[in-house]
Amino acid sequence: MPRCARRIDAVLAGPQIVAAGLAIEQAHPVLGTVKLPNLPFRFPACDTTRATPAPWMGQHNRQIAAELGDAAAARVPT
């Protein structure tokens, strides 16, 4: 019986995934170069390239609380 389950690195390196541009590499400030899923669709007039890596959980808590007018923004955990 053929194996169907594959490791994610093998899936992302597959010829169909590579040819369709469904995986991209991005520099991450902590993790180094990481491979991420790309959008499965294209907009001709839009650049959908990821400009920055995703934030860490809570990375922008203080900034958002301050923008919302929270007087205690300095106490918000990060």
Listed by start position, the domains of the chain span 1-40
Per-residue model confidence (pLDDT) at position 46: 85
| 76 touches 65 (CB < 8 A) | yes
* pLDDT for res 43: 85
pLDDT score of 72: 65
> What pLDDT, on a 0 to 100 scale, did the predictor assign at position 63?
85
CB 34 within 8 A of CB 22: no
The one-character DSSP state at 16 is H
Residue 64 has pLDDT above 80, yes or no: yes
pLDDT at 74: 58
Indicate whether this model's pTM tops 0.75: no
CB atoms closer than 10 angstroms to residue 70: 14
Per-residue pLDDT tens over the stretch 38-54: 888 888 888 877 778 88
